[in-house]
Amino acid sequence: MTEPNATTDDQIITTNALTKRYGERAAVDQVSLTVRRGEVYGFLGPNGAGKTTTLRMLVGLVRPTHGTAQVLGHPPGAPAALARIGTLVEGPGFYPYLSGRDNLRVLARYAGLDDVAVAAALELVDLTARATDRFRKYSLGMKQRLGVAAALLGEPDLLILDEPTNGLDPAGMADMRALIRGLADQGQTVLLSSHLLGEVEQICDRVGVISRGRLLAESTVADLRGQASVLVRADPLSTAREVAAREVGAERVALADGSLRLSIDGERTAALVRALVHANLEVREVRPIERNLEDVFFELTGDQEEVSS
Amino acid sequence: MIASTRAELLRLRRWPTVWVLCGAWLALNLTFGYLFTYLSYRSEGGSGFADQVSDQAEAQALLAQILPDQVPVVLLQGLPMFGGALLLILGAVTVGSGYGWGTWKTVFTTGPRRFTALAGTLAALGIVLVALVLATLVVDLAAAFAVAGAESQPMAWPGLVDTVRSLGAGVLIGAMWTAAGVLLGTLTRGPALAVGLGLVWALVVENLLRGVANLLGAVAAVTDVLPGSAAGSLAGALGSVAEGDPGGTPGVNTVLDGGVATVLLVGYLLAFLAASVLLTNRRDLAA
């Protein structure tokens, strides 16, 4: 079903029309995405959008109905690829009767790693002090951190993390984001799914937005936000519009809700204000308008209820 | 596969459930194989079990059952039903729990092929099974020699061939039931339903079917080749007293020849393993 795609060394993951159907329902519908080496790729979508199903297909847990994928140069689920991938998909799965350390030791044995790798992974997620506690006694946040530690075993080239900050307190979330960003800075590629827009905006280089199984957009965060603009309120508005058009070009000036919206970056604001004042206009408000990822997301998905910012 | 087996042995060794099941089997084997028989023997002319011991000959027959030379028989007699049920539980919880805990998901994304990972689990279960059968032999020998010493009976070791044959049969019967549990755990993707279904089958359904077969002869052709029938027949062929006969053990029967029973058990074992591997390899792991 899944066949090799043409990939380059720079492309760590490529999918081509990847589709998973359950009966008539398409959980993932014709998704084509690319994750490049060394980047943190945010896979953003509301709950039930198809993020986890896509990730499951990428690690071979679920077979696609249609389409192809290539992960680290191999079909999804190939042992050669899995040995270089650290995965945390849909929450951590561990033996409740074993300690955190023994759980990692079991996984390390499966992966042919020694206990040194276990100690290093526990240290990275700050779980060394509680490593001998049984997994069933861990808090939700500790379980999540152990899941990330398992993903980090053996210093994989690619991390696939599904909602890695689930269950973490604010400090834990900040630590996790810093850890992920740090790993990317060291050259590891990270594919991160999340429904937290702020999280994706903070740590991701590029973003894929998925909703109802379809990939709606894929680009850098900056590109998705689009060009910055400046809002101007001044009286009289018609004169202000003329002055602004002379200063930045008529094509960059739009009238909206009793104000002007100028498609310019912040560096030109000072000159604009000088021109407005020089024209004896009463300038009441000048402020930059930056679209955040949330605005973009809602525009793309048209579904504002299921997403938390 | 060696790495997967080492990983599974580590986690099985630390799992209290495994120790509880193995301990339960050893305790049952000791209790029903030696303790009750010895108490029956000792109670001749006294209270408790005296009614079942009508004369000295019967008392000597009871004593003879628990002397060292009979260890190969005692070792096997409880395996077709009670031991089998416990091993079925072991197989079902070992594999089924992995779906509930999400550990199969974790293992399958760690690196080994699904087949390799499951083969590691099966190998680890096999090692546990062999160790358990050997432990049963040691416990039974200790009990038998203790009885022989206490009753001033001959300290003769059981025959080597009988012992090896009994160990082999015990491992085969145990492996078949364990594999049945593995298959049920895989089919149901959880331990609870797998254990429930397995126990109902092993302890109830097969017995009910045998009851029906007594009324409808045609059904006997089927019931005679069921897993429990084959396991009981192998134990019966190696000296265990059949259920219904005086001093018989539940689950033991003589409906099949030992050779046929062995072939059937091997067939069931391979079929259960093959089905488990096939399901594990082909199914999506979506939860």
Contacts of B8 in chain A (CB under 8 A): 106
> What is the pLDDT at residue A165?
87
Q: Which residues pair with A255 in a beta bridge?
A: A260
ipTM of this complex: 0.87
Is B64 within a domain?
no
pLDDT above 80: residue B46: no
Residue whose tokens read 């740590």 = A203
> What is the pLDDT at residue B54?
59
Nearest to B179 by CA among B261, B82, B272: B272
Structure tokens at B11: 């986690």
> What is the pLDDT at residue A287?
85
Contacts of B120 in chain A (CB under 8 A): 110
Chain A residue with minimum CA distance to B99: A93
Nearest to A189 by CA among A264, A289, A87: A87
Contact A94 B101 (CB under 8 A): yes
Is B229 within a domain?
yes
Helix then strand then coil, in percent of chain A rounded to 5, is 40, 30, 35
> What is the pLDDT at residue B167?
96
Chain A residue with minimum CA distance to B282: A63
Calpha distance A63→A70 (Å, rounded): 13
Of B15, B107, B286, the CB nearest to A110: B107
Average pLDDT, chain B: 90
What's the per-residue H, E or C state across B177-191?
HHHHHHHHHHHHCCH
Which positions ≥6 away from A290 have C-beta within 8 Å?
A225, A228
Contact A63 B102 (CB under 8 A): no
Least confident of A255-269, B28-42, B47-61: B47-61
The model's confidence at residue B51, banded by pLDDT at 50, 70 and 90, is low
- Residue type for position B137: L
Indicate the SS3 state at residue A160.
strand
> What is the pLDDT at residue A195?
81
pLDDT above 60: residue B52: no
pLDDT above 90: residue B189: yes
Is B2 touching A (CB cutoff 8 A)? no
- Residue type for position A41: Y
Contact B16 A53 (CB under 8 A): no
Is B145 touching A (CB cutoff 8 A)? no
* Contact present, B229 and B207 (Cβ < 8 Å): no
Contacts of A110 in chain B (CB under 8 A): 3-4, 7, 107, 110-112, 117, 120
Is B46 within a domain?
no
Average pLDDT over residues B178-187: 97
How far, in whole angstroms, is CA A254 from its chain's centroid?
32
According to DSSP, the β-strands at A158-162 and A85-88 are: parallel
Nearest to A189 by CA among A99, A58, A66, A303: A58
Other beta carbons within 10 angstroms of residue B21's beta carbon come to 19
Indicate the SS3 state at residue A93.
coil
Contacts of B285 in chain A (CB under 8 A): 56, 61-62
- Residue type for position B243: E
Is B104 touching A (CB cutoff 8 A)? yes
* Contact present, A96 and A138 (Cβ < 8 Å): no
For chain A, the residues whose C-beta falls within 8 A of a C-beta of chain B are 53, 56, 59-63, 77, 79, 82-83, 85, 87, 89-98, 102, 105-107, 109-112, 150, 153
Is B200 within a domain?
yes
Which positions ≥6 away from B13 have C-beta within 8 Å?
none
Is B60 within a domain?
no
> What is the pLDDT at residue B128?
97
Number of domains composing chain B: 1
pLDDT above 60: residue B116: yes
Of B6, B15, B285, the CB nearest to A109: B6
* Nearest chain B Cα distance for residue A173, angstroms: 22
> What is the pLDDT at residue A1?
42
Is B112 within a domain?
yes
Q: Which residues pair with A260 in a beta bridge?
A: A232, A255
Is B109 touching A (CB cutoff 8 A)? yes
Across the beta sheet with A253-256, the strand order is A253-256, A259-262, A229-235, A282-289
Q: Supply the range of the domain harboring residue B155.
A: 2-33+69-282
**Domains along chain A with CATH numbers:** 11-84+157-224 (3.40.50.300), 227-290 (3.30.70)
Calpha distance A217→A209 (Å, rounded): 5
Average pLDDT over residues B95-116: 92
Nearest to A130 by CA among A113, A149, A116: A149
> What is the pLDDT at residue A309?
39
pLDDT above 50: residue B106: yes
Calpha distance B254→B120 (Å, rounded): 35
> What is the pLDDT at residue A242?
92
Calpha distance B5→B15 (Å, rounded): 15
Contact B286 A53 (CB under 8 A): yes
Nearest to A13 by CA among A43, A49, A44, A58: A58
Nearest to B8 by CA among A98, A156, A127: A98
Is B47 within a domain?
no
Distances (CA, A) of B283 to A301, B65, B108: 32, 49, 12
> What is the pLDDT at residue A251?
86
- Residue type for position A142: M
How far, in whole angstroms, is CA B216 from its chain's centroid?
29
Q: Give the pLDDT of chain A (309 residues) as one tens digit per residue.
A: 444 444 556 889 999 999 999 988 999 999 999 999 999 999 988 888 899 999 999 999 999 999 999 999 999 989 889 989 999 998 889 999 999 999 999 999 999 898 899 999 999 888 999 999 999 999 888 899 999 999 999 889 999 999 888 878 888 888 888 888 888 888 899 999 988 878 888 889 999 999 889 999 898 887 877 767 888 999 999 999 999 999 888 888 888 888 998 888 777 888 889 999 999 999 999 888 777 777 777 777 775 444 443
First to last CA, chain B: 25
* Nearest chain A Cα distance for residue B223, angstroms: 39
Of B8, B117, B285, the CB nearest to A61: B285
